[in-house]
Amino acid sequence: MKRAIFPGSFDPLTLGHVDIIERGVKLFDELIIAIGVNADKKYMFSLEERKKFIEDCFKHEPKIKVVTYKGLTVHFCQENNVDFIFRGLRNPADFEFEKAIAHTNRDLAPIETVFLLTAASTSYISSSIVRDVIRNDGDYTKLVPASVRVK
């Protein structure tokens, strides 16, 4: 069974994430969307809200599992028999950052990272942009799935 983890903070889930997840789920037998917990980070949405956004968005997809975790992603993979880390790339800066993480992860454990380019139509969307639009009372609904349209 090919199992992959798609890790992130998902604060909040965006249409860019949805694009990557919908295309990625076709590549694996199971795709675990793993919300990482970072005590040093200030989140706009609670862990429970972020998990619910994702669960509601993908409730009809049996190959998707949503979990939360702390610590290194490779440790989660080893503890849960996950062979692949799945990541989306929006731009060259994402690639450079993700490449360094992928090399580090491979040094720590025999886990491959698989990259997928985001669709051109969503490549400009990031969670930080969405949060900024929300904070400034802008129309963020075109940037997120219906499950996130709560504010």
User: What residue ranges do the domains of the chain occupy?
Assistant: 3-148
Q: CA angle, corner 49, sides to 9 and 68, nearest 5?
A: 45
Q: Which amino acid is at 97?
A: F
Check: CB of residue 112 under 8 Å from CB of residue 83: yes
pLDDT tens across 32-45, in order? Answer: 999 998 878 889 99
Q: What pLDDT does residue 150 have?
A: 65
Annotated ligand binding at 17? The verdict is yes
Annotated ligand binding at 75? The verdict is no
**What is the value of pTM for the model shown?**
0.92
B/e letters for 83-115, b = 16+ CB within 10 Å, e = fewer, are ebbbbbbbeeebeeebeeebeebeeeeebebbe
CA end-to-end span of the chain:
39
pLDDT tens across 75-104, in order? Answer: 999 999 999 999 999 888 889 899 999 999
Annotated ligand binding at 30? The verdict is no
Cite the active site residues: 17, 41, 90, 127
At 57 the three-state DSSP class reads: helix
101 Cβ contact list (under 8 Å, min separation 6): 113
pLDDT tens across 2-16, in order? Answer: 999 999 999 999 999
Cα 75 to Cα 81: distance, rounded to the nearest angstrom: 10
Annotated ligand binding at 147? The verdict is no
Question: What are φ and ψ of residue 7, in 5° steps?
Answer: -85, 155
Classify domain 3-148 at the CATH superfamily level.
HUPs (3.40.50.620)
Q: CA angle, corner 118, sides to 34 and 93, nearest 5?
A: 90
